[in-house]
Amino acid sequence: MRCAAAAMLAAVVLTGTASQTTPATRGKPALFAVATAPYVFRFPSDHAAHPAYQSEWWYFTGHLRAANGRRFGYELTFFRIRLRPEDVVPEPKGPGRSRWRGDQLYAAHFAITDEAGHKFFHTERLARSALGLGAASTDKLAVRAGDWSLAGRPTTDPARERMTLHAAAGANQLDVIQVPVKPPAIHGRGGIFRKASCATCASHYYSYTRLNTQGVLVYDGTKFNVGGISWMDHEFGTNELASNEAGWDWFALQLDDGRELMLYVFRRRDGGSVAQTAGSLIERNGHVHALSADRFAVTAQGHWRAPQTHTDYPHGWRVQVPEAKLDVNLMPVLDAQEIVETSGPSYWEGAVDVRDATTSRSLGQGYVELTGYAEPVVL
């Protein structure tokens, strides 16, 4: 949750290397801000964009049920990628000025998993900040890539908070309202979430781990009134991965007992895991327990080969968190949930069922993201 598309787009689009931020020297400004501790989140202001950082994303995944019982998974994500700081927006008038120039790129992904029909739909779009094609407010939660949008109602009262999502592509459309059940869960320690040992390898990262979701889904031309639960990640930073990292396996589980679990397994290019692999256990009351790598285990049970990209992905996982008395199996509701990218390496992101590892009793639902298998992520 995360930064797969942002990483891929940054590698493809940036005309210069994403430079590490350093203090201003010899009259030159620093390039990009980096995530450092301590950082104190402030809401609702931190829902808005943070353009001083190179990359940022607002990431929604969820599970919807129609009135007839039909189940769908969905993903709608918005990414902001800042280009080189010297590519500033010019004055609107004057010699050599152009309204086509801009210093921000916006991307969005929209996907639907049809569990009953065993089908997967996904699409993407890119929008530059030039001409107002894409935008993200620094004052409030308002992000747009073309006419796809995420908007929040500014409030300091969590009970009155609302977020609306809209995306439409061909015969598919999503229009839902999200209402947080719990306060934002802050991941990591000191306001940063570490991804490797290097100075910049961290992000500011929080989640709404349980959102009541209501609205309309149009799938393959058929309209469904839907309800369910969703998960939202918001993350921002610069140069977050080390050069020896390939990517990550990300897990977001919403348990029927009211708890949630987020795990971020960072992988080296040689196949090993990074020491900064970590996660969070969110209690029913919203309290967050930071989990280091030695407090949980994730074991892939098999593999699946994608027919389009011929990429081998892990398939099915056993997740164990002894202190939480969790021992569960995760099974994809559909194997073919690969996001095939035109702007960068492809990745797998899909809905999973959560079942007791011993009894196979259903315990909840979740989403899993797998990056760096088609090719290493550069972020």
What is the domain-level CATH number for residue 159? 2.40.370.10
- How many whole angstroms from its chain centre is CA 61? 8
Q: Is residue 31 part of a domain?
A: no
Contact 316, 300 (CB under 8 A): yes
Q: Is residue 377 part of a domain?
A: no
Q: Is residue 308 part of a domain?
A: yes
How far apart are the C-alpha atoms of 32 and 137, rounded to whole Å? 18
- How many whole angstroms from its chain centre is CA 179? 18
Instruction: Tell me the pairing of strands 134-136 and 172-180.
Output: unpaired
What is the domain extent for residue 166?
4-15+44-370
Q: Is residue 166 part of a domain?
A: yes
Instruction: Report phi then psi at 215, rounded to 5.
Output: 160, -145
Is it the case that residue 347 has pLDDT exceeding 80? yes
Q: Is residue 66 part of a domain?
A: yes
Give the whole-number percent of the chain exceeding pLDDT 90: 76
Please name the amino acid found at residue 91: E
What total number of domains does the chain contain? 1
Q: Is residue 100 part of a domain?
A: yes
Q: Can you give the pLDDT at residue 25?
A: 33
DSSP conformation letters of 215-236: EEEEETTEEEEEEEEEEEEEEE
- Mean pLDDT within 362-368: 98
Q: Is residue 37 part of a domain?
A: no
Q: Is residue 36 part of a domain?
A: no
Q: What are the C-alpha distances in Å from 231 to residues 99, 215, 321?
A: 36, 16, 20
Q: Can you give the pLDDT at residue 14?
A: 38
- Whose CA is closest to 252, among 265, 237, 271, 268? 265
Please name the amino acid found at residue 165: L
The helix (H) or strand (E) run that includes residue 59 is strand 55-66
How far apart are the C-alpha atoms of 117 and 112, rounded to whole Å? 11
Give the model confidence (pLDDT) of 249-288 as tens digits.
999 999 999 999 999 999 999 988 999 999 999 999 999 9
- My answer on whether omega of the bond before 44 falls inside 30° of 0, hence cis, is yes
The helix (H) or strand (E) run that includes residue 11 is helix 4-13
Give the model confidence (pLDDT) of 152-206 as tens digits.
987 777 668 899 999 999 999 999 999 999 999 999 999 999 999 999 999 999 9
Contact 226, 214 (CB under 8 A): yes
Per-residue pLDDT band for 46 (boundaries 50, 70, 90) equals very high
pTM: 0.90
Instruction: Enumerate residues 6+ apart whose C-beta is below 8 A from 69.
Output: none
Q: Which of the two residues, 110 and 345, has the higher pLDDT score?
A: 110
The three-class DSSP label of residue 53 is: strand
Instruction: Enumerate residues 6+ apart whose C-beta is below 8 A from 361.
Output: 355
